[in-house]
């Protein structure tokens, strides 16, 4: 029997539909989640099965509908609220980080906020600086909510199911370039075999996407695939990279990172989010604090600390790619010091 | 050998003259089963699933992003 392969978008939709059939408290709201099916297909087809009461199109006011999601969750529902682009968090951040993330703490554990906020991230398709950011660290920095970021369809379904069943707020970030959209580019590795039955993927466990003995590449999301491309090139030159997919930032599998780095003795961290104060720094700090014996100082490849350009050549130049990762890995193997850049 | 053909009436060509292969869910040379979605085709803002017409080995004739029209053969199953 051949596999059943789904794009990441379809895998997310399947998880939402299965949980909605099983639990009438689960519903979806957001901008264009109804007839349009989600601007990045994350709710495609759900309206036909569940109707407008449970698949609710909202006005363009993240402030109100993310806030309404918090209220619904605290009133016994299990809302999935879509923030169309993560870049739009500015107008609704109070509802996210002061309300959803802290109300359980503020109430001494008497109230839970079982809410999923799903949101599209990432650039590479010329949508400019306010539609192309990743902002992983902006959310992972704040206590009180889980932050997850699948890199393929299998994880996308299992992590969505885990997120919906979690009694805590879960910030579910998905990269537009991995959704398998016809009008976007193709990342073959993101479209995977997906079991039909419901299943969960536990939070807080790295995925080892490639085993290797010479260096560890720690990454997430689209950059998992760019790193695997780089690892293939490196292998042709006799360098074997281990590629770890973090999958979740909160909780973070520090042990999983340390296990690999203790084996290889070299660490390269790759992230599409801004370089400074980000995931790359957190991973390097984790390894430094553990006192792991290293063959060379760690390195990172990330998006430089500049806005994301609209101009395609400029954007493509600034985004990390497989060549950037392979080149950093070469420098790491040589023990060359990092170039200090913006 | 069975052709994988885009159905003649999949979309209205007066409105949308041509579509494009969105993606192949299986690669050239992989084994597929009859009825499994093997490719998606985009026309306008709509995405259509293209199932394998038979079980066997997939041959891709039109790569992702290539423009296609209804009735066109985009691959084969042997």
pLDDT truncated to tens, each residue of chain A (342 aa)?
A: 568 999 999 999 999 999 999 999 999 999 999 999 999 999 999 999 999 999 999 999 999 999 999 999 999 999 999 999 999 999 999 999 999 999 999 999 999 999 999 999 999 999 999 999 999 999 999 999 999 999 999 999 999 999 999 999 999 999 999 999 877 888 989 999 999 999 999 999 999 999 999 999 999 999 999 999 999 999 999 999 999 999 999 999 999 999 999 999 999 999 999 999 999 999 999 999 999 999 999 999 999 999 999 999 999 999 999 999 999 999 999 986 665 554
Do residue A187 and residue A211 come from a single domain?
no
Predicted pLDDT at A336: 64
Compute the average pLDDT of residues B8-32.
Answer: 92
Angle at A197 between CA A192 and CA A203, to 5 degrees: 70
Share of chain B above pLDDT 70, in %: 100
Query: DSSP class of residue A320?
Result: -
Q: Tokens in use for A253?
A: 């599998």
Predicted pLDDT at B64: 86
User: What SS3 string covers A26-95?
Assistant: EEEEECCCCCCCCCCCCCCCHHHHHHHHHEEECCCCHHHHHHHHHHHHHCCCEEEEEEEEHHHHHHCHHH
A41: nearest CA partner in chain B: B47
Residue A183 distance to chain B (closest CA, Å)? 7
Q: Is B47 on the interface with A (CB under 8 A)?
A: yes
Cβ contact (<8 Å) for A191 and B55? no
Single out the residue in A132, A163, A193 at which a domain terminates.
Answer: A193
User: Has residue A201 been placed in a domain?
Assistant: no
Element (H, E) at A158: helix A153-165
B44: nearest CA partner in chain A: A183
Neighbours of A298 (CB within 10 A): 22
Cβ contact (<8 Å) for B47 and A1? no
Instruction: Give backbone dihedrals phi and psi of A148, rounded to 5 degrees, phi first.
Output: -130, 155
Asked if ipTM goes beyond 0.90, one says no
User: Has residue A141 been placed in a domain?
Assistant: yes
Do residue A42 and residue A109 come from a single domain?
yes
Cβ contact (<8 Å) for B36 and A6? no
Predicted pLDDT at A341: 53
Do residue A167 and residue A189 come from a single domain?
yes
Q: Is A177 on the interface with B (CB under 8 A)?
A: no
Range of the domain at B65: 2-77
N- to C-terminal Cα separation, chain B: 4
Predicted pLDDT at A342: 44
Predicted pLDDT at B44: 85
CATH number where A314 lies: 3.40.50.920
Range of the domain at A273: 207-334
Question: From CA A74, how far away is CA A76, in angstroms rounded?
Answer: 6
Do residue A25 and residue A95 come from a single domain?
yes
Of A1, A4, A182, the CB nearest to B40: A182
Q: Residue B25: list chain A partners with CB under 8 A.
A: 5-7, 191
Do residue A101 and residue A160 come from a single domain?
yes
Inter-chain Cβ pairs, chain A and chain B, closer than 8 A: 42
Of B22, B33, B41, the CB nearest to A2: B33
Do residue A228 and residue A277 come from a single domain?
yes
Query: Shortest CA distance to A294 belongs to which of A268, A267, A323?
Result: A267
Does residue A171 sit in helix, strand or coil? Answer: strand
Of A2, A3, A186, the CB nearest to B64: A186
Predicted pLDDT at A338: 61
B16, B25, B38, best to mutate vs chain A, most A CBs in 10 Å: B25
Q: Is B64 on the interface with A (CB under 8 A)?
A: yes
Do residue A33 and residue A176 come from a single domain?
yes
Single out the residue in A193, A225, A260 at which a domain terminates.
Answer: A193
Predicted pLDDT at A340: 54
Of B23, B30, B41, the CB nearest to A7: B23
Do residue A183 and residue A221 come from a single domain?
no
User: Has residue A198 been placed in a domain?
Assistant: no
Q: Is B63 on the interface with A (CB under 8 A)?
A: no
Predicted pLDDT at A283: 98
Query: DSSP class of residue A307?
Result: P
Predicted pLDDT at A301: 98
CATH number where B14 lies: 2.40.50.100
Query: DSSP class of residue A143?
Result: T
Asked if the model's pLDDT at residue B45 lies above 90, the reply is no
Residues of chain A numbered 1-40 and touching chain B (CB < 8 Å): 1-7
A182: nearest CA partner in chain B: B22
Do residue A76 and residue A189 come from a single domain?
yes
If you write DSSP's letter for every residue of B27-43 in order, what string do you get?
Answer: -TT-EE-TT-EEEEEEE
Which residues of A are tagged catalytic? 131
Compute the average pLDDT of residues B29-58.
Answer: 92
Inter-CA distances, A195 with A6, A29, A128, B27, Å: 9, 26, 36, 19
N- to C-terminal Cα separation, chain A: 51
Compute the average pLDDT of residues B9-32.
Answer: 92
Predicted pLDDT at A21: 98
Single out the residue in A160, A193, A226 at which a domain terminates.
Answer: A193
Predicted pLDDT at A19: 98
- How many domains does one find in chain A? 2
């Amino acid at each position: 029997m051949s596999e059943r392969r789904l794009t990441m978008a379809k895998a997310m939709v399947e998880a939402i539909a299965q949980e909605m059939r099983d639990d009438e408290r689960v519903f979806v709201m957001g901008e264009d989640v109804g007839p349009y099916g989600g601007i990045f297909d994350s709710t495609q087809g759900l309206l036909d099965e569940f109707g407008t009461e449970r698949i609710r199109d909202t006005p363009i006011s993240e402030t109100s509908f993310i806030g309404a999601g918090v209220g619904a969750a605290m009133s016994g529902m299990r809302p999935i609220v879509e923030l169309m682009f993560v870049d739009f968090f500015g107008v609704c951040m109070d509802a996210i980080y002061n309300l959803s993330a802290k109300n359980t703490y503020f109430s001494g554990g008497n109230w839970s906020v079982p809410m999923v906020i799903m949101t599209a991230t990432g650039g590479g398709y010329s949508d400019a600086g306010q539609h192309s950011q990743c902002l992983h660290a902006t959310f992972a920095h704040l206590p009180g909510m889980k932050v997850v970021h699948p890199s393929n369809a299998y994880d996308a379904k299992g992590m969505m199911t885990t997120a919906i069943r979690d009694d805590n707020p879960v910030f579910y970030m998905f990269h537009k370039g991995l959704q398998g959209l016809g009008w976007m580019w193709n990342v073959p590795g993101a479209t995977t075999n997906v079991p039909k039955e419901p299943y969960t993927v536990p939070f807080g466990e790295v995925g080892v996407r490639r085993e290797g003995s010479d260096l560890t590449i720690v990454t997430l999301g689209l950059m998992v695939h760019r790193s695997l491309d780089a690892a293939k090139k490196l292998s042709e030159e006799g360098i074997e990279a281990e590629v770890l997919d973090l999958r979740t930032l909160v909780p973070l599998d520090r042990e999983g990172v340390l296990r690999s780095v203790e084996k290889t003795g070299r660490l390269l961290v790759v992230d599409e989010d801004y370089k400074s104060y980000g995931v790359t720094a957190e991973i390097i700090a984790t390894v430094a604090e553990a006192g792991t014996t290293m063959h060379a100082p760690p390195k990172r490849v990330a998006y430089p600390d500049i806005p994301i350009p609209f101009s395609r050549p400029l954007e493509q130049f600034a985004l990390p790619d497989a060549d950037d990762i392979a080149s950093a890995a070469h420098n790491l193997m040589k023990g060359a010091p990092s170039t200090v850049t913006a | 050998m069975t052709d994988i053909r885009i159905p003649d009436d999949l979309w209205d060509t007066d409105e949308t003259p041509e579509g494009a292969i969105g993606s192949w869910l299986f690669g050239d040379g992989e084994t597929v089963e009859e009825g499994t979605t093997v490719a998606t085709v985009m026309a306008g803002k709509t995405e259509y699933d293209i199932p394998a017409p038979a079980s066997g080995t997939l041959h891709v004739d039109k790569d992702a992003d290539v423009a296609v029209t209804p009735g066109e053969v985009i691959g084969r199953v042997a």
